[in-house]
Structure 1
Amino acid sequence: RYSTDDDTQECGPGQETFKDEEAANSDLEWLEELYEEDNDDGGGDLALGADDGNKRSYAETARMFKLRRNQDQLECFHRQKEHHVQKAREELRLCRRNVDSLLAQRMNLEKELEQQKAKDDSVAVFRLRAQHKQLCQQLQNEEELEGRIRTELRQREWELIKVEVELGKVSMLRQEVQEEEELFQTLKAQKAATRLQQERKVGQNLQHELKLLRDKQEASLRKEEMEYQKKLEEGKKYQRIAVKYLNESLKKKRAQQQAAEKEQQSQELIEK
């Protein structure tokens, strides 16, 4: 019936403390990234309002996460020790009840044994003495078990007291840790909002640049089209001038040819 600490469920993976530790580790990773960004751009995003007006260091903020994790682990450990003590007390109560029951049985058996001795019933006396011996052995075993449980209970109660003392020390820092954690979460939200705003601004700038590029390309295409139309009109104009010049040249040449023919005919007539 007697159990040890192995019977209880330890604080470990799968419980709230482990989840809280994962969350704290995630926050620490985010904090490292944030400090790297802050050092790169020289900004003041991490001015968490320390009492001396200086920017809170990474070590100070990381200490807050460590305290929070220690609190959670210590509270889980305290619940575990309380469970051990309660279980040991219940086992002691059951063992004490068994001892009392065996004592009552032994008392009744001893009375019956005296009665059978008075009757000089040797068979009954022999049987009762055997039962008495067996009962005394059971009683001895239960009393030894009771002693071990009492010793273990005192040890567990002492361990519980030590945990409660440590928990009391840590609890004094609970308000400070809570305030720092709220401050950190506020910073985290502000940083996320700032990053989102920056990403939106980058997106808007990119869209603006793309629009400018499209407008520039469209303007360039319009200019090329206008220049092409201008050259086309000039080409047509020069073509008309060339055709006109060609026609005039042909007319002039025909006129000269006709004049030459007339002069030749006149010369032929004179010669005749």
Structure 2
Amino acid sequence: MKRISQHLIATALAVALGACATSPTGRSQMLLYSDAQLAQMGDQAFASMKEELTISNKRVQNSYVNCVADAIVAQVPSEVFGGEWEIVVFDDEQVNAFALPGGKIGVYTGLLNVAENQHQLAAVIGHEVGHVIANHGNERMSQSAVIGVGSEVVGQVLEQQEVAGSSAIMGAIGLGVQVGVQLPFSRTHESEADIIGLQLMAKSGFNPAQSVNLWQNMDAASSGERPMELLSTHPAPQTRIDNLKANMAPAMADYRAAPVYPSCE
């Protein structure tokens, strides 16, 4: 048992030390998966969604979303994705959108009822593309893989030492990891994607100040039905608004210097 634990620990440390990277905002990251692996996962997930969800056939709606998304992805570095992005509008009342590695973007029609103009839609799409640029999917999966190995080691030690109530202790460790590591980590990703998205929309010619209006709309649309920030994977709307405002000056400079101002509406 001891030999197995030592092997797991050594493996986890070796993998983690060999997978260090830096996010666009300068934050240290651990990335265990290759770009090709992530792109393949993104392709598979997107294909499944297109089979399971209804795709909008409204020409004007599709043209509008594609216009905004095309302007945003034009700012994505080629090393992140250099191919043609696939953009799909799903006929669904969810107030949401997403972007996947491998150049995939999905926008739910419910979002168009909350994002009141092209600038606010650009804020959402920019945010989602920001997750891809910052390798957040890779980072989350890598973290989960290492946590899984660590939890297995702790469980073996407890079992080996015949610690009373070991199952309860493992449950507490799981909750501690979720609240102490995974949830703050997710909130860090959301805040980082907000800043990257702010830069993307500004350089694309969309007014970054509208990102604040977007989150005010999001807050109103939620009707106060949110978990407290400590137990949420997303920062509270006011936290996001404060973060956006703190980074607004350089975004406005990028906006004023943008070579093109899209007219998608």
Which category of TM-score, normalised to the shorter sequence, fits these structures?
under 0.3
Please identify which structure carries the higher helix content. Answer: 1
**TM-score normalised over the length of structure 2:** 0.25
The structure with more radius of gyration? 1
Greater fraction of residues in strand: 2
TM-score (norm 1): 0.24
